[in-house]
Chain A
Amino acid sequence: AQSVTQLGSHVSVSEGALVLLRCNYSSSVPPYLFWYVQYPNQGLQLLLKYTTGATLVKGINGFEAEFKKSETSFHLTKPSAHMSDAAEYFCAVSDYNTDKLIFGTGTRLQVFP
C-alpha cells in the first residue's frame, strides 16, 4: 500500500534562507506526487505535482520539487524564504487502487525576520 512520510512536523527558517521540506513515499508502482500548502483557516492549495516526464517540477510562489525514484523522495525547496511562505505544507501520493490521494501529516513552516 502507498504511504507518505514527512520528516519534521515543524521547520523554522530565516527570511531569505533556503526552504527544504522533506517527503518520502512508499509505492509499488511509479506514483503521482503532490505538494499542497495550507494557510491558516483556509483550504489546501496545490503547489505543484509530478506525474511523468521531467523529474524537477516547478510550482507556484517559487517552489520546486524533485522526484528521485532511487531515494523514493519528493522534497520541496525554495531558494529564498519569504514571510508569506509561513504555512502548513502537505505531501501526497496517489493510490491507484482506490483512486485517492494519501496525505502526509504535514509540516508547519515558520519564517523569522
Chain B
Amino acid sequence: SQTIHQWPATLVQPVGSPLSLECTVEGTSNPNLYWYRQAAGRGLQLLFYSVGIGQISSEVPQNLSASRPQDRQFILSSKKLLLSDSGFYLCAWSRGVYYGYTFGSGTRLTVV
C-alpha cells in the first residue's frame, strides 16, 4: 500500500534562518506531488506542485522554493524565513484527480 511521510511534525525557527521540509511517498511511482500551507484560521493554499523529477510549478510568488530530486521525494525550502512563513505545511500525492489526494500528517512551522 502507499504511504506518505512528512517530517518534522513541529519546527520552531528564528527569522532569517533556512528551512528544509521533506516529504516522501512509498509504494507508488511517478506520483504528482503537492505542497500546501494553512495559515491560522485560513484554508488551504497550494504552494507548489510537481508532475515529475525536476519539474516544479509555483502557484504563488513567495519566500519559498521546492525541489524534487528523486521520483518520490519532495522538498520545501527557504533561504531566509520570514514571520509570515509560519503556518501548517502539508504535503500530498496523487495519481490523478480521479483518485483524489493523499495527505501527509503536516508540519507546524513557527517562525519567531
Contacts and interface: CB of A to CB of B under 8 A. Distances in A.
Interface of A: 32, 34, 36, 41-46, 49, 51, 90, 92, 94-96, 99-101, 103-106
Contact of A99 (B43, B96, B103): B96
B101 interface: yes
A59 to B, nearest CB: 12
A46 B4 CA distance: 14
A63 to B, nearest CB: 15
Contacts of B88: 41
Interface of B: 6, 32, 34, 42-44, 46, 49, 51, 88, 90, 92, 94, 96-98, 100-106, 108
A104 B43 contact: yes
B103 A44 contact: yes
Given A43-B90, A103-B43, A106-B43, A96 B105 contact: no
Say whether chain B's binding surface is mostly helix, strand, loop, or mixed: strand
Given A43-B106, A45-B103, A46-B102, A100 B90 contact: no
A101 B43 contact: no
A46 B100 contact: yes
Say whether chain A's binding surface is mostly helix, strand, loop, or mixed: strand
A95 B98 CA distance: 10
B44 A95 contact: no
B43 A41 contact: no
Nearest to A33: B100
Contact of B97 (A42, A45, A101): A101
